[in-house]
Amino acid sequence: MKKTVLMAAFTLLWGCTTSATDTPATVSTAEDGWDFNQTPAQLTTLCNETLDTAKSAFAQIESDTSPATVQSVYGPYNAMGIGLQDIQHIWYVKSVHPDTNVQAAAEACINAYIDFATTIELSQPFYQRVASIDVTGLNPSEQLMIENRLRAFRKSGVDRDEPTRQRVRALIAEITELGTAFDKNIRTDSKIIVTNAEELKGLPEDFIASHPADADGNIEISTDYPDLFPVLTYSESDDLRLRLYTASKAIATPANDTTLRQLIEKRHELANLLGYPSHAALAMDGLMIGTPENAQRFIDEIGDAVREPASKDMAILLQRLQQIDPAATGVEVWQSFYLSNLVRQEQYAIDAREVRQYFHFDRVQRGIFAMTEQLFDVEIVPWQTNTWHEDVTAWELRDNGKPLGRFYLDMHPRKNKYKHAAHWTLRTGLKDGPIAMSGMVMNFPQGLMEHNQVETFLHEFGHLLHNMFSGSQQWLDISGMTMERDFVEAPSQMLEEWVWDYDTLKTFATNDAGEVIPRSLVEKMVAARHFGEAAGTAQQLFYANLALNYYNRPPDSFALLPLLKDMQARYSPYPYVPDTYFYNNFTHLNGYSSNYYIYQWSKAISTDLFSQFAAAGMNDAKTASDYRRKILEPGGSKPASELIADFLQRPFSPDTYKTYLKKLN
């Protein structure tokens, strides 16, 4: 889940909505970061002053009567956007700051920011200025920039009458507040279940040691990721796994029952007001996929390709479950992690407990930094700047000694912090202008990690690198991660491939004794890699169908839980679990709204992109350079389809991914 720069606010309107060595020779002391020690009042003052300056600048843009050209219109607009980036960190602050009062101030600032963004989108004078620009003679990137801006104007209802535009503005404010509440309800709810030492049988020793029993022998386990996934994977107690899974899927319940329903209703009303049959139609206008019908067709095609391999995965899991419970007739979702681990141990000689000893968080981070430096010929050095918590680190990315961007890493769980994994664009870099800045959030243990957590680290770091490298354009509207939203996951998904490469892993995957992960173990990991992937893909298609079907029809035509049960029965390999309310904690129903298909669409693209590295070698310097230059650096200056074709030397086709899926198992 990412936020773009100036366009972050506009994106939110539509709900489509990111190596240091042990002894570094260089440390950045750049005074470039935000003051995260500001009080709520100070943050509010910064917000108000920044927005007031932007509003004054925008009033001058609206009143300008000079001939409309790219320079006369976008010059001052760009300058205004650069100024607004002084408060671009508010989305990040809302999600990570330990002071709930500061979070509240950031949320208020977000509402004010989006209200101003709505003013821009509904400004008829600005619309007329942009529409008056003669595109003859402009370069293709500038033509695309204006085309995209005019589409955004039309999607905002700028050409409607005054009462309609006022209603649009009111609806967007309501949608923003509901989305903020939806996210907050998830962020602030962490459930606890009580267990005992017997039920922890099977879990790694370091996990058990970090969860001591109280005087009565009770042990508390939370639904936060560092507890949730080890328990689901290793606990021999089926009842413990069920209780914890059920609790995790009841987060933000019942708080989000009403919030989500209202969010869906308001988005549908807005879409209808703007002439769209559904929010999904509005949200997909201008994306690669184009329409909800195209999205459904793509989801169905992937579903057809993965159906047989997923059935084979489930048959293997059921066969293993029947060795434990001969009466079992089906596999439940809370059993899938545990059974998959058993199958990998027994059929592939892979024990996740053996694997995890080689992935200590500190070594993983150093290794991912080193891999980035080698692959893209850059340098990452520590950045001395203030942060909001002692766990947070800050870094600078350099190319031939020149800073390309700076970033923050907030990698471990704590109370009231965003509970998943994400990247935020804190600033978009510009040619001959400010450099990029990013913030990343994870919820990893400070000690040993699961291999799939290493994969997640690299995925989100891929978004961060995309932002670092894409600040090459003159204009904010086409610099940074401003490409179609259903492309932005593809580069990150492709980068995940490197955590399966022995030559990469051997550089950092060592245990506490200093022993490098054995090649034979990595070979077994690779052999077992695709087991369960088809079933996992089928589950992702359930999520995609759920999101699409919540937003592609009138809200009064369905109820949340019955529709979820229907979608799960039709698309998921697992049955519904009683007393779970996944929609209340499915964060993407706010950020991505209808567009969760993006993950499978981007996976299809990433599979195609990786074919170049597979052919040339994963560390081939020319391929990596071409990838950086043709995929990452252009930002939104070209349609995504052209970026892909430039790199592949042919158009993108989902057929590569469908063929891949059909060969699983």
| Mean pLDDT calculated for residue range 471-496 | 95
Beta pairing partners, 438: 407, 425
Contacts of 78 by beta carbon, 8 Å cutoff, 6+ apart: 430, 474, 475, 476
Instruction: Return the amino acid letter for 130.
Output: V
Burial letters for 553-563: b for 16+ Cβ neighbours within 10 Å, e otherwise? bebeeeebeeb
Query: What is the structure's pLDDT at 14?
Result: 34
How far, in Å, CA of 320 to CA of 314, rounded?
10
Instruction: Indicate left, alpha or beta for 377 from its phi (over 0: left) and psi (-120 to 50: alpha).
Output: left
| Mean pLDDT calculated for residue range 526-533 | 92
Q: Which helix H or strand E contains 82, and what residues bound it?
A: helix 70-84
How far, in Å, CA of 648 to CA of 652, rounded?
8
* Rg of the chain (C-alpha set): 25
For residue 23, pLDDT beyond 50: no
Beta pairing partners, 437: 406, 427
Instruction: Return the amino acid letter for 23.
Output: T
Q: How many CB atoms lie within 10 A of CB 11?
A: 21
Instruction: Calculate the average pLDDT of the chain.
Output: 94
What sign does the CA torsion over 388, 449, 543, 600 have?
positive
Query: What is the structure's pLDDT at 626?
Result: 97
Split at pLDDT 50, 70, 90, the class of 11 is: very low
pTM, entire model: 0.88
Query: What is the structure's pLDDT at 4?
Result: 35
- Are 199 and 266 in contact by the 8 Å Cβ rule? The answer is no
Contacts of 526 by beta carbon, 8 Å cutoff, 6+ apart: 500
| Mean pLDDT calculated for residue range 548-574 | 97
What phi and psi, each to the nearest 5 degrees, are found at residue 437?
-145, 140
Contacts of 641 by beta carbon, 8 Å cutoff, 6+ apart: 288, 651, 652
Query: What is the structure's pLDDT at 78?
Result: 97
Q: How many CB atoms lie within 10 A of CB 151?
A: 12
How far, in Å, CA of 429 to CA of 435, rounded?
4
How far, in Å, CA of 354 to CA of 350, rounded?
8
Q: What is the 3-state secondary structure (H, E, C) of 373-429?
A: HHHHCCEEEEECCCCCCCCCEEEEEEECCEEEEEEEEECCCCCCCCCCCEEEEEECC
Report the range of poorest mean pLDDT among 24-38, 245-259, 433-447, 577-591.
Answer: 24-38
For residue 158, pLDDT beyond 90: yes
* Alpha helices (runs of H) in 225-254, residue ranges in sequence order: 225-234, 238-248
Task: List pLDDT tens digits, range 343-377.
Answer: 999 999 998 889 999 999 999 999 999 999 999 99
Contacts of 126 by beta carbon, 8 Å cutoff, 6+ apart: 58, 61, 62, 77, 120
For residue 20, pLDDT beyond 50: no
For residue 278, pLDDT beyond 50: yes
Split at pLDDT 50, 70, 90, the class of 8 is: very low
The fraction of the chain above a pLDDT of 90, given in percent, is 93
For residue 7, pLDDT beyond 90: no
For residue 561, pLDDT beyond 50: yes
Beta pairing partners, 436: 405
For residue 17, pLDDT beyond 50: no
For residue 43, pLDDT beyond 70: yes
For residue 594, pLDDT beyond 60: yes
